Chains A and B, each alone.
Chain A
Amino acid sequence: MSLGAITLLILGLGVVAWLAARARAAAFAAPDRPRPHSLPGQHGWYVALWTAVPALIFLAIWRQVSGNLIYASVMASPEAAALPAFDMQRQAILSEAYALATGRAETAFNPQAGILAPVYESAIGFYNWIGLAVALLVAFAGGAWAYSRVSPQFRARTRVERIIMMGLLVASLIAILTTLGIVLSLLFESLRFFSMVSPVEFLFGLNWSPQMAIRADQAGSSGAFGAIPLFWGTIFIGAIIAMIVAIPLGLMSAIYLTQYASSRLRAWMKPLLEILAGVPTVVYGYFAALTVAPAVRDLGLSIGIPASTESALAAGLVMGIMIIPFVSSMADDSIAAVPQAMRDGSLAMGATTSETIRKVLVPAALPGVVGGVLLAVSRAIGETMIVVMAAGLAANLTANPFDSVTTVTTQIVQLLTGDQEFDSPKTLAAFALGLVLFMVTLALNIVALRVVKKYREAYD
């Protein structure tokens, strides 16, 4: 019997337990007796959960453990003594035997695998039977214990509530633990990188050329890992050029939408603007690479600046467009949150609408707008597709927007695509870059949320 079938069996037992407990609890209710604490269905759930959950948890653990046990018992069998000593060969035969045993392969390519397959099969069968027996035992024990507690006074309702709460807690922990795991792996790999390249060189070095020589006698054998040109490129595109585009356009469209547009126009324009946020970034990417970049290069050439096809300006402009909805919707929210009384107060002083906007609404909404801009920056510097397609690979340290620069995300993609050794500094550098990016983004998000929250508290 396979583990899948055992699982189904346990679930079936749960259903039986539910019905049995419900029937028993239903018998408590009688007109002449005090009302039972919990409804029959709740007793049913209590017993069903006790029947199925511990048994399923056992099965989940057993699945992990039994693999090793099966392997150990196969290795201990006399048939395994004939296996070749060379590890790779032995593993190949074993996995073939396993495939034969579980019916995933028909004929043995290697005669030894054919010999081992029955051994494997019997080991698998043996441990599955143990698994089934213990799981059933656990299910019956849990179910019987819970069933014995069913009584009119028993608070099945609160117990079930607590079990559900635990389930929800576990669900939320999974997300948190995953994040934690990612951070830890970033940290761990980065530490390995920093054991090969000094953090000072990485954080402050001006020269980035991560190509390591494959043979020691090749020219330029040692890579350089000064990430400053990458940081600068990221900031130049994501935090400077993109924001020069996104802040004024986003803010002005928010002002127009909240202060001037009629409610009918607003109902049309706001969703249209938000569609911008839904365009896949890869679409922005080829828009940047195929349409904007050549136009920018021609512009540069026409005003006499030697411009490359992959320019910081092209990537930054398109990224700015992409970010507009973020800035605009945050600004929209914070302007709308400024109390009407403030606006009335200014208008009653004889201020015009635009004076009111400039002198009262925007200053009052500023913290929210700043928060929105910070969130937008954190998104822009983490953005990958646009810069991969339009920004280029040359790690230039330049302030000329027509020149090509490279960013942290572009380099991570570069470092990790293609065949890689997973312990060379070149590959590990990607983790260090990822770690820096993650920390900066995290810090920006925290600051932005703080700013926005503080501001919200001021008005209500």
Chain B
Amino acid sequence: MADMIQSPIQAADAAASSPKMTARGVSVFYGEKKAVDDVSIDIHREHVTAFIGPSGCGKSTFLRTLNRMNDTIGSARVEGRIELDSEDIYASSMDVVQLRARVGMVFQKPNPFPKSIFENVAYGPRIHGLAAGKAELDVIVERSLRRAGLWDEVKDRLAESGTALSGGQQQRLCIARAIAVDPEVILMDEPASALDPIATARIEELIHELRGNYAIVIVTHNMQQAARVSQRTAFFHLGVLVEYGETSAIFTNPRETRTKDYITGRYG
């Protein structure tokens, strides 16, 4: 089945460069329970990849395998192989601290630290020793906030608490925090589901702008959002990757009836 899904994608990839991340035969267990079943997928550079599927189908679980956040859950166990630039990220030689600096993550609920706006963004660079001095740190913080489209709104109040911002601003702060360490891949788990339509539009715009520099993976329950922001879409169902391909193809001409049913809202 994996082959059947892979073949058309691999054909399309022949033109593009090698994938940024690849997953082969990945299964995830919580204790005895299998939450993700034998998933193989390629994540491409300078692409936005959307994961869609009904609630509980394992989107978040699979997303978290990509930066080993499942390691923080005691009962979770991952099988299969995941590579970042052809390097096995579950190999013992891979340092999880470095991996997470390269594969950043933005969560569903904005989770700024209870620190100042500046300190929120400076958190990663400080941990990874990216700035030699205060001046350099200032530059990184400003650049990250600019890229996250938040600079103009907060430049006069960098010392204020990050938790005092609005929900949408908090989420952009979290994106700024993630890109401050200059990651190569950004994982976003329903980044706009807790936001109002205007804030959501800002985030989508931002994802669009960031695509030039990063490989982005976004989990979403919103079909229109997937269609608007992504170039590739993966449809998950009951832990299985049902269909993966160009977003336009998935939405206009799905090969699987399950995909079609889900997209047209017949279940979900």
CB of A352 closer than 8 Å to a CB of B? yes
Decide: B101 and A348 in contact? CB cutoff 8 A.
no
Query: Is there contact, CB below 8 Å, between A342 and B128?
Result: no
Is A341 a contact of B107 with CB atoms below 8 Å? yes
Cβ–Cβ contact A348 & B69, under 8 A:
yes
Assess whether B213 is interfacial by the CB under 8 Å rule.
no
Q: Is A458 an interface residue (CB 8 A)?
A: yes
Interface residues as binary, A343-358 with B (CB distance below 8 Å gives 1, 0 otherwise): 1111111111001000
A344 and B107 form a contact (CB under 8 A): yes
The one of B98, B115, B163 in contact with A363, judged by C-beta atoms closer than 8 angstroms, is B115
Cross-chain contact B72 with A344 (CB below 8 angstroms): yes
B29 contacts partner chain A, Cβ-Cβ < 8 Å = no
Residues of A within 8 A of B69 (CB): 344, 347-348
Contact A348 B114 (CB under 8 A): no
Considering only residues 85-132 of chain B, those with a C-beta below 8 Å from chain A are 96-101, 104-105, 107, 109, 111-115, 123-124, 127-128
Q: Which residues of A contact B72 (CB under 8 A)?
A: 343-344, 347
Number of interface residues of B (CB under 8 A): 27
Any chain A CB within 8 A of the CB of B229?
Answer: no
Tell yes or no: A339 within 8 A of B by CB. Answer: yes
Contact at B123–A458, with CB atoms within 8 Å?
Answer: no
**In the complex, B177 has a CB within 8 A of chain A:** yes
A348-B104, A349-B181, A350-B98 are contacts. A341–B109 as well, Cβ < 8 Å?
yes
**Chain B proximity of A106: nearest CB distance (Å):** 78
Contact for B111 among A339, A352, A458, CB less than 8 A: A339
Q: Does the CB pair A458–B181 fall under 8 Å?
A: no
User: Any chain B CB within 8 A of the CB of A321?
Assistant: no
B178 in the interface (beta carbon within 8 A): yes
A346 to B72: give the CA distance in the assembly, Å. 12
Cβ-based interface call for B174 (8 A): yes
B41-79 contact mask (Cβ, 8 Å, vs A): 1 or 0: 000000000000000000000000001010010000000
Residues of A with C-beta under 8 A to B112: 345
A349 near B178 with CB under 8 A, answer yes
A348 and B123 contact, CB distance less than 8 A? no
Could you tell me which residues of chain B, from 243 to 264, have a CB within 8 Å of some CB in chain A? none
**Hey, which chain B residues are within 8 Å of A37, CB to CB?**
none
Q: Which residues of A contact B163 (CB under 8 A)?
A: 458
A451 contacts B by Cβ under 8 Å: no
* Cα-based distance from A355 to B99 in the complex (angstroms): 16
Q: For residue A364, which residue of chain B has the nearest CB? A: B114
A349 touches B123 (CB 8 A): yes
| CB pair B113 A351 closer than 8 Å | no
Q: Considering the chains assembled together, what is the distance between the CA atoms of A355 and B113 in angstroms? A: 13
Instruction: Say yes or no: A349-B100 contact (C-beta < 8 A), given A344-B69, A344-B72, A359-B123.
Output: yes
Q: Are A360 and B128 within 8 A (Cβ)?
A: no
A343 and B71 alpha carbons, distance in the complex (Å): 13
For B113, what are the chain A residues with a Cβ–Cβ distance below 8 Å?
342, 345-346, 359-360, 363-364
CB distance from A408 to the nearest CB of B (A): 38
Distance in angstroms between the alpha carbons of A341 and B100 in the assembled complex: 16
- Contact A347 B109, CB 8 Å, known A355-B127, A363-B114: no
Q: How far is the CA of A458 from the CA of B112 in the complex (A)?
A: 13
Q: Determine the chain B residues whose CB is within 8 A of the CB of A348 once the complex forms.
A: 67, 69, 100, 104-105, 107, 178
- Chain B interface residues toward A at CB < 8 A: 67, 69, 72, 96-101, 104-105, 107, 109, 111-115, 123-124, 127-128, 163, 174, 177-178, 181
The interface of chain A, by Cβ under 8 A from chain B, is 339, 341-352, 355, 359-360, 363-364, 458
Known: A349-B127, A351-B127, A363-B113. 19 other contacts (CB 8 A): A339-B111, A341-B107, A341-B109, A345-B112, A347-B69, A347-B72, A348-B178, A349-B100, A349-B101, A349-B181, A350-B100, A350-B124, A350-B128, A350-B181, A351-B97, A351-B123, A363-B115, A458-B114, A458-B163
The list of the 8 closest CB pairs from A to B, nearest first, reads A350-B100, A341-B111, A348-B105, A350-B101, A345-B111, A349-B124, A350-B97, A364-B114
